[in-house]
Amino acid sequence: MGRFVIAVSAQAGRGAAADGTAVEVFERLSTAAIERAHSSPAVQALWAEFGAACDYVPIASAAEAQRIFPEVEALAT
């Protein structure tokens, strides 16, 4: 697949909303890096596998996202 670097750090913030929704937040490297990943057939295939196991939803769908300082339960990395 090759390597796509799209995040500044491998350390993403990971947590779970009260309804069980997993939340992952990371600092992106650049818009161009994200666009390269989105246009890669290899990355698309990987995301299709992820999509078979879970649903991608907007962060706004979590009740916690409606708060100025949302709290989520930390998930192990």
pTM for this prediction: 0.63
pLDDT computed for residue 7 by the predictor: 57
pLDDT computed for residue 26 by the predictor: 76
CA distance linking residue 53 with residue 10, whole number of Å: 22
Q: Residue 52 above 90 pLDDT?
A: yes
Q: Residue 3 above 70 pLDDT?
A: no
CA distance linking residue 13 with residue 41, whole number of Å: 27
- Maximal C-alpha separation, the chain: 39
CA distance linking residue 31 with residue 18, whole number of Å: 31
Distance between first and last Cα of the chain: 23
Look-up of token digits 């009740």: 63
